[in-house]
């Protein structure tokens, strides 16, 4: 679910400008999953641009407060969303924890780093949603500690149907600042790419796992 359409467009525009989102239909990226993709999103780059960083932090906080109210704790998904989660927690004056993909094999063997009490309400921060699998592992870990996960707030989502299904099955609400559809609107309206290349981006979105490039 997009928080606000205009914010979605502006967020997509800023991610394009700082090259947090790169578009290379003629020289596609290969994701860790093995998928070929004309787009790559690395929202950690946001941290290097104070104006964009502040914009994202401000609107994540606004979205959380309007959609979820004020939780007891903000949680970031390691590693990409740790820094942004801290910024959001600081702005809201809330405790912060972060969640590893799995428990450490040494030391205290924590999966959740920080202090969270049973029954506390949590909003999870994520930088990017693809299939939602790794994000929802963090939700599961928090629930195993009897935390009440109100929902997740993310910067950007590709909007894959499999992600929608995964969040639905996990009974976890998802709120994002921007998504692939609003990115395409910015690409089209601002002339970032030629019409044929724009059509490639549309085609990839229909079946990314089967797309082999142009």
CA angle at residue 132 from 198 to 83, to 5 degrees? 95
Say if residues 195 and 7 touch (Cβ distance below 8 Å).
no
Question: Per residue of the chain (214 residues), what is the pLDDT tens digit?
Answer: 787 999 999 999 999 999 999 988 888 999 888 889 999 999 999 999 999 999 999 999 999 999 999 999 999 999 999 999 999 999 999 999 999 987 655 656 689 999 999 999 999 999 999 999 999 999 999 999 999 999 999 999 999 988 999 999 999 999 999 999 999 988 888 776 666 678 888 889 888 888 887 6
Look at residue 196 in the predicted model and tell me its pLDDT: 65
- Predicted pLDDT of residue 179: 96
Residue 113 main-chain phi, psi, to 5 deg:
-105, 125
Report the pLDDT value the prediction gives residue 7, as an integer from 0 to 100: 96
Q: How high is the pLDDT of residue 194? A: 66
* pLDDT in the model for residue 193: 67
Cα separation of 44 and 81, whole Å? 8
Q: What local confidence, expressed as pLDDT, does residue 106 receive?
A: 61
- The per-residue pLDDT for 112 is 95
CA dist 135 to 112, 129, 147, 170, 185, Å? 13, 7, 16, 11, 26
- pTM greater than 0.75 (yes/no): yes
Residue linked to tokens 């007891």: 72
Res 187: pLDDT: 85
**Rounded to whole angstroms, what are the CA distances from 11 to 15, 64, 90, 121?**
6, 16, 21, 27
Question: Residue 171 phi/psi, 5° resolution?
Answer: 55, 45
Give dist(CA 70, CA 66) in Å, integer: 9
Q: How many CA atoms lie within 13 A of 52 on its CB side?
A: 20
Q: How many residues does the chain have?
A: 214
């Amino acid at each position: 679910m997009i928080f606000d359409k205009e914010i979605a467009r502006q967020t997509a525009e800023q991610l394009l400008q700082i090259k947090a989102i790169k578009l290379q239909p003629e020289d596609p990226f290969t994701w860790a999953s093995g998928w070929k993709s004309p787009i790559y999103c690395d929202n950690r780059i946001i941290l290097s641009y104070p104006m964009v960083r502040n914009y994202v932090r401000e609107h994540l906080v606004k979205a959380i407060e309007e959609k979820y109210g004020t939780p007891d704790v903000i949680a970031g998904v390691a590693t990409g969303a740790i820094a942004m989660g801290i910024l959001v927690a600081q702005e809201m004056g809330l405790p912060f924890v972060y969640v590893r993909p799995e428990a450490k094999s040494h030391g205290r063997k924590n999966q959740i780093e920080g202090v969270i009490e049973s029954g506390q309400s949590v909003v999870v921060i994520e930088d990017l949603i693809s299939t939602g699998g790794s994000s929802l592992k963090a939700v599961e870990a928090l629930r195993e500690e009897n935390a009440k996960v109100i929902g997740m707030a993310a910067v950007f989502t590709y909007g894959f149907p499999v992600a929608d299904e995964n969040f639905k099955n996990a009974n976890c609400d998802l709120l994002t600042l921007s998504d692939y559809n609003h990115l395409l609107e910015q690409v089209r309206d601002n002339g970032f790419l030629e019409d044929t290349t724009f059509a490639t981006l549309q085609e990839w979105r229909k079946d990314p796992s089967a797309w082999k490039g142009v």
